[in-house]
Amino acid sequence: MINIVLFGKPGAGKGTQAEFLKTKYNLTHISTGDVFRYNLKNNTPLGEEARGYMDRGELVPDALTIKMLQDEVEKNPDTAGFLFDGFPRTIAQAEALDAFLVSKGWQVDATVGLEADDEILVQRLLERGKTSGRADDQDENLIRNRYQEYNEKTAPLMEYYNKQGKFHAVDGIGEIAEITNRLSSVIDTLN
């Protein structure tokens, strides 16, 4: 069992790299965004609860997000490991993930941060916005606000996992295959 947290700013390539890593290492990819969309689309009890917060313009509480994630983990009891994408985003979520995994006899084995210069990422997202249809990929101010939120809430996770000796920074600029090789060289040291 190997459990990896993949994080980086919007546009850093997490989704692209997750596709390669899940195949190469036979991992179950859990994207918080996908889990939310599934629960909302299928009107699950957790999705309905989340929708209530969202309809009021409130953030979905960590406890509810964690419950959705736990349900997703429970659906995959025979997996070789998990690749968490978009979770955790805060120290509180990281602590909850650690506690949940420990209750299963597992742990986060490594966190890998895809690092890239903000200016390069802004251009990537603006380019992606031309075809993605996502409003938050088409407005430079919205993109920069997302980065500010990332810096305030998610970046502290680097220190949290670094203290545990589990944080690995990987250069997220270059050809997709080059970045995949960089990530693989980190993951290969875990086995």
Residues involved in catalysis: 14, 89, 128, 134, 146
Q: Please, are residues 134 and 191 in contact by the beta-carbon 8 Å criterion?
A: no
DSSP E strand stretches across the chain: 2-8, 28-31, 81-85, 110-115, 167-171
Q: What CA–CA distance (Å, rounded) separates 150 from 152?
A: 5
Q: What CA–CA distance (Å, rounded) separates 188 from 75?
A: 26
Contacts with 9 (C-beta within 8 Å, 6 or more apart), sequence order: 116, 118, 121, 146, 147, 150
**Which is nearest to 155 in space by CA: 2, 4, 3, 7?**
7
Evaluate the omega torsion of the peptide bond into residue 10 and state whether it is cis, within 30 degrees of 0.
no
Q: What CA–CA distance (Å, rounded) separates 22 from 106?
A: 18
